Structure 1
Amino acid sequence: MKERTRHLVAALTGLGLGLAALGPGLAPGFVLSYDMVFVPDPAFTRLTFGLTGIVPRHVPSDAVVTALATVIPADAVQKLVLLAIFVMACTAAASLVPSERMAPRLAAGVCYAWNPFVAERLLLGQWALLLGYAALPWAVAAAARADERGGGRRLVRALIPAAIGGFAALAVSGLTALVVALVTVRGRGAAKVVGAVAVLSLPWLVPGLLRPGGLPSDDTAVDLFAARADTPFGTLGSLLALGGAWNGETVPSGYGTPVIASLWLVVVIGAFAAYRTWCREPAWRRGAAVAAGVGFAVAALGAVAAPVLEGLVGLWPGFAVVRDGQQFVAPLAVVVAAGLGAAADRAADARLPGVALAAVAVPVFLLPTLAWGAAGDLRAVRYPDDWARARRIVDGDPAKGDVLVLPWAAYRSYPWNHGRRVLDPLPRYLHRRVVVNDAVTVGGTTVAPEDPKAVRLAPATAPPATTSAAALRDAGVRYVVVDAETAAHRPAGDVREVLRGRDLVVYRIDGSAAPPGDGVPVAPAVAAWVVTGLAVAWSIGTPRATLSLPLLGSIKPRSRRTP
Structure 2
Amino acid sequence: MRTKWGEAAVRFAPAALGLLLGLLALGPALGPGFVLRYDMVFVPDPPLAPPGAGFPRAVPSDLVVALLAQVAPAQVVQKAVLLGIFVLAASGAAALVPSDRLGPRLAAAAFYAWNTYLAQRLLLGQWALLLGVAGLPWAVRAVVLGGRLRLVAALLPAAVGGFQAMLVSALTVLATAATAATTSAATGGKAAAVAATAAVPAGPVVRARRTAEAGAVLAALSLPWLVPALLSGASTDPAGAVAFAARADGPFGTVGSLLSLGGIWNVNAVVPGQQAWWSASVRLVLAAVAVWGFTRLRGGFTRPGGTGPRRTTGTGRADGPCRVGVPYWTGLATAAGAGLGVALLGAFAPGLLGGLIAWWPGFGPLRDGQLYVAPLVLLQAVGLAGAVARWDSRAVAAVAAAVPVLVLPTFALGAFGRLAAVDYPGEWRRVQAIVNADPAPGALLSLPWGAHRAFAWNGGRVVLDPATKMFARPVIWNDALLVGLPGGGRLRLAAESPQAAAVEAALRAAPDGRARALAKLGIRYVLERANDNKFYGSLVVFQGSELRLLRLSGVA
Could you state the TM-score of these two structures normalised by the residue count of structure 2?
0.86
Structure 1 contact 278–343 (Cα < 8 Å) conserved: no
Residue 492 of structure 1 corresponds to which residue in structure 2? 535
Residue 224 of structure 1 corresponds to which residue in structure 2? 243
Residue among 209, 221, 224 paired with 1:203: 224
Q: Does 1:268 align with 2:312?
A: no
Deviation of 1:29 (Å):
0.6
Deviation of 1:182 (Å):
1.7
Structure 1 contact 163–170 (Cα < 8 Å) conserved: yes
Residue 530 of structure 1 corresponds to which residue in structure 2? none
Deviation of 1:466 (Å):
7.8
Residue among 481, 505, 528 paired with 1:459: 505
Aligned residue runs from structure 1 range 226-241, under 5 A: 226-241=245-260
Q: Secondary structure at the match of 1:222?
A: helix
Q: Does 1:470 align with 2:510?
A: no
Structure 2 contact 19–83 (Cα < 8 Å) conserved: yes
Q: Secondary structure at the match of 1:390?
A: helix
Q: Does 1:14 align with 2:18?
A: yes
Structure 1 contact 7–91 (Cα < 8 Å) conserved: no
Higher mean C-alpha deviation, range 65-74 or range 441-450: 441-450
Deviation of 1:471 (Å):
1.4
Q: Which amino acid aligns with 1:347?
A: W
Residue 320 of structure 1 corresponds to which residue in structure 2? 364
Q: Does 1:371 align with 2:412?
A: yes
Q: Which amino acid aligns with 1:508?
A: R
Structure 2 contact 97–104 (Cα < 8 Å) conserved: yes
Aligned residue runs from structure 1 range 64-75, under 5 A: 64-75=64-75
Residue 151 of structure 2 corresponds to which residue in structure 1? 155
Please give the alpha-carbon distance, in whole angstroms, between the structure 1 residues aligned to 2:536 and 2:178.
63
Residue among 256, 267, 278 paired with 2:275: 256
Deviations 1:329-351 (A, max 9, x none): 10001111011111122122xxx
Q: Which amino acid aligns with 2:545?
A: R
Q: Secondary structure at the match of 1:432?
A: coil
Q: Which amino acid aligns with 1:197?
A: L
Q: Does 1:28 align with 2:32?
A: yes
Q: Which amino acid aligns with 1:71?
A: V
Aligned residue runs from structure 1 range 423-442, under 5 A: 423-442=464-483
Aligned residue runs from structure 1 range 256-335, under 5 A: 256-278=275-297, 280=300, 281-335=325-379
Aligned residue runs from structure 1 range 25-174, under 5 A: 25-46=29-50, 50=51, 52-146=52-146, 150=147, 152-174=148-170
Residue 491 of structure 2 corresponds to which residue in structure 1? 445
Please give the alpha-carbon distance, in whole angstroms, between the structure 2 residues aligned to 1:239 and 1:106.
24
Deviations 1:427-455 (A, max 9, x none): 21122221111111112221111222222
Please give the alpha-carbon distance, in whole angstroms, between the structure 1 residues aligned to 2:424 and 2:513.
27
Residue 177 of structure 1 corresponds to which residue in structure 2? 173
Deviation of 1:60 (Å):
0.9
Higher mean C-alpha deviation, range 137-146 or range 407-416: 137-146
Structure 2 contact 511–536 (Cα < 8 Å) conserved: no
Structure 1 contact 461–467 (Cα < 8 Å) conserved: no
Query: What count of residue pairs does the alignment treat as equivalent?
Result: 497
Deviation of 1:397 (Å):
2.8
Q: Which amino acid aligns with 1:32?
A: L
Residues 127, 449 of structure 1: alpha-carbon distance in 2 compared, 3 angstrom cutoff = same
Q: Secondary structure at the match of 1:347?
A: coil
Q: Which amino acid aligns with 1:273?
A: W
Deviation of 1:197 (Å):
0.8
Please give the alpha-carbon distance, in whole angstroms, between the structure 2 residues aligned to 1:454 and 1:113.
39
Q: Does 1:194 align with 2:240?
A: no
Deviation of 1:82 (Å):
0.4
Please give the alpha-carbon distance, in whole angstroms, between the structure 1 residues aligned to 2:412 and 2:520.
51
Residue 321 of structure 2 corresponds to which residue in structure 1? none
Q: Which amino acid aligns with 2:382?
A: A
Q: Which amino acid aligns with 2:555?
A: S
Q: Which amino acid aligns with 1:369?
A: T
Q: Which amino acid aligns with 1:95?
A: A
Residue among 385, 388, 410 paired with 1:344: 388
Unpaired runs of 5+ residues, structure 2, are 181-201, 301-324, 485-489
Residue 510 of structure 1 corresponds to which residue in structure 2? 553
Please give the alpha-carbon distance, in whole angstroms, between the structure 1 residues aligned to 2:17 and 2:513.
54
Could you state the TM-score of these two structures normalised by the residue count of structure 1?
0.85
Deviation of 1:138 (Å):
1.5
Deviation of 1:196 (Å):
1.0
Structure 2 contact 244–265 (Cα < 8 Å) conserved: yes
Structure 1 contact 263–366 (Cα < 8 Å) conserved: yes
Deviation of 1:35 (Å):
0.3
Structure 1 contact 231–256 (Cα < 8 Å) conserved: yes
Structure 1 contact 137–334 (Cα < 8 Å) conserved: yes
Deviations 1:499-530 (A, max 9, x none): 221221112213326xxxxxxxxxxxxxxxxx
Structure 2 contact 442–525 (Cα < 8 Å) conserved: yes
Please give the alpha-carbon distance, in whole angstroms, between the structure 2 residues aligned to 1:193 and 1:312.
27
Q: Secondary structure at the match of 2:444?
A: strand
Q: Secondary structure at the match of 1:359?
A: helix
Deviations 1:239-295 (A, max 9, x none): 100001110100010012111100110011011111112462221112211211111
Q: Secondary structure at the match of 1:252?
A: coil
Please give the alpha-carbon distance, in whole angstroms, between the structure 2 residues aligned to 1:27 and 1:369.
19
Q: Give the superposed CA RMSD.
A: 1.7
Structure 2 contact 297–326 (Cα < 8 Å) conserved: no
Residues 386, 401 of structure 1: alpha-carbon distance in 2 compared, 3 angstrom cutoff = same
Residues 445, 144 of structure 1: alpha-carbon distance in 2 compared, 3 angstrom cutoff = same
> Which is greater in Rg?
2
Please give the alpha-carbon distance, in whole angstroms, between the structure 1 residues aligned to 2:236 and 2:438.
37
Deviations 1:21-40 (A, max 9, x none): 11111111100010001011
Higher mean C-alpha deviation, range 137-146 or range 110-119: 137-146
* Paired-residue identity, %: 49
Q: Which amino acid aligns with 1:368?
A: P
Structure 1 contact 309–323 (Cα < 8 Å) conserved: yes
Q: Secondary structure at the match of 1:23?
A: helix
Please give the alpha-carbon distance, in whole angstroms, between the structure 1 residues aligned to 2:133 and 2:444.
35
Q: Which amino acid aligns with 2:124?
A: L
Please give the alpha-carbon distance, in whole angstroms, between the structure 2 residues aligned to 1:464 and 1:115.
52
Q: Which amino acid aligns with 1:234?
A: G
Q: Secondary structure at the match of 1:445?
A: strand
Q: Which amino acid aligns with 1:247?
A: N
Please give the alpha-carbon distance, in whole angstroms, between the structure 2 residues aligned to 1:223 and 1:129.
21
Q: Secondary structure at the match of 2:264?
A: coil
